[in-house]
Amino acid sequence: GNGTVGWDPALDATIDRKTSPKKGSILSRGTLVVCHVSLVGQWIAEAKSKLTSPGLVYSYHGQNRKRHPPTLAANSIVVTTYATLASDTTYWAKMNGSEYCPPCAQVRWWRIICDESHTMRTGATTQSAAVMGLVADHKWCVTGTPINTAITDLTSQLRFVGIENLSEYSTVFRKTIKVHLDSKRETSRRGNAFKNKVFEESRRCGPFLFFMRNVMIRHSMKQQYIGTSTTLMSLPPMRERHIDVEFSAEDATEYAPLEVAARQFYLQIKEKGANFVGRNYLKLSQCLLPLRIACSGGHVPLDDLEDDDNERKRSRAKPKKLSE
């Protein structure tokens, strides 16, 4: 699949002076990983298996998480979720007043990795705004689908990694790729007479492709090392077999509540109309991930899913009173 990796060696030059003085005030050599709740356990397990000091891996997630920036900065790897960051930026900010700065935003991380970074394709969401408020020397966007619905899905991801003059690149998007795609759709309706125009528009994609080549690394199954011509991954030929597997009583007990939660989420979306289902296709796909993990022998605690849902609700809630 595709992968988008970006870095920002001089982020401090772009920080708004009007932001909180606490923002990025605590230096850390650690990495902050932002992902969906269903992937938190996998990231934690992988990190602990690779580090010589697995105790320096911390899950910043759930109602009992420690909102203490120095504690977060002391860890090698901190794993959190998009919903948790959104909750810290909205609900907890309202509870603590205008001087409040979210814990993760107070740390200047060595590296931030946004897994499934297409989540912030729409810059207007609370989750996107929360991620944009983080400070780091290096920022990576990792995704298999950097573009989901439109070429402009890249805009927020590029803004996150610190690309300057983004308004100019947005113009390039509109005048190259988007025009080319729109023209390609028109070709099917208007016939071959329109093909010459499509070809001319596609030739204008050069600046866009040149730009993306410098900020994106794409990995594929057939990718080879330069110089040695050896492949990055050597796998045996694929064989497809359809095997029906019955759940054990224990597996069925764990799977049932995950299925109920996914079904309820789908029905809530469906009640709002067919158009709403189409606009929330990615959210519906993501709610199936816990089921896929369970079917593959993994384990997704239902409490984690409920905590993440509660964080999303808190980000939209109005606190009853402010504390000092």
| Domain assignment of residue 147, yes or no | yes
Quick one: 254 and 156 in the same domain?
Answer: no
Around 50, how many Cα atoms within 13 Å sit in the side-chain half-sphere? 9
- Which position has the token pair 């984690």? 304
Of 8-17, 134-143, 284-293, 295-304, the one with minimum mean pLDDT is 8-17
| Domain assignment of residue 148, yes or no | yes
Percent of the chain with pLDDT over 70: 71
Domain closes at, from 131, 163, 195: 163
User: What is the per-residue pLDDT for 105?
Assistant: 94
| Domain assignment of residue 139, yes or no | yes
Using the CB atoms, write b or e for 182-199: b if 16+ within 10 Å: ebeeeeeeeeeeeeeebe
Of 118-127, 130-139, 239-248, the one with minimum mean pLDDT is 118-127
Q: What is the C-alpha separation between 149 and 121, in angstroms, rounded?
A: 9
- Which position has the token pair 């959210």? 283
Query: Would the pLDDT of 1 be above 50?
Result: no
Domain closes at, from 139, 163, 187: 163
* pLDDT digits 0-9 by tens, 93-121: 777 777 789 999 999 999 999 999 988 87
168 falls in which pLDDT band (50, 70, 90)? low
**pTM higher than the cut 0.75:** no
Tokens of 23: 């923002």
Of 107-116, 162-171, 245-254, 300-309, the one with minimum mean pLDDT is 300-309
DSSP 8-state class, residue 104: G
* pLDDT digits 0-9 by tens, 61-81: 888 888 899 999 999 999 999
Query: How many CB atoms are closer than 10 A to CB 241?
Result: 4
* pLDDT digits 0-9 by tens, 189-231: 555 555 555 555 555 667 777 778 888 888 777 777 777 777 7
Helices and strands: H and E segment counts in the chain: 15, 6
Quick one: 38 and 132 in the same domain?
Answer: yes
Smallest CA-to-CA distance from 145 within 157, 136, 137 is with 157
CATH number of the domain residue 123 falls in: 3.40.50.10810
What domain count does the chain have?
A: 2
User: What is the per-residue pLDDT for 74?
Assistant: 94
Query: Would the pLDDT of 172 be above 90?
Result: no
| Domain assignment of residue 83, yes or no | yes
Quick one: 135 and 255 in the same domain?
Answer: no
Does residue 201 contact residue 183 with C-beta atoms inside 8 Å? yes
User: What is the per-residue pLDDT for 69?
Assistant: 93
245 falls in which pLDDT band (50, 70, 90)? confident
| Domain assignment of residue 32, yes or no | yes
Structural domain containing residue 92 = 11-163
DSSP codes joined into one string, 149-183: S-GGGHHHHHHHTT-S-HHHHHHHHIIIIIHHHHH
Quick one: 137 and 262 in the same domain?
Answer: no
Mean pLDDT across 237-253:
87
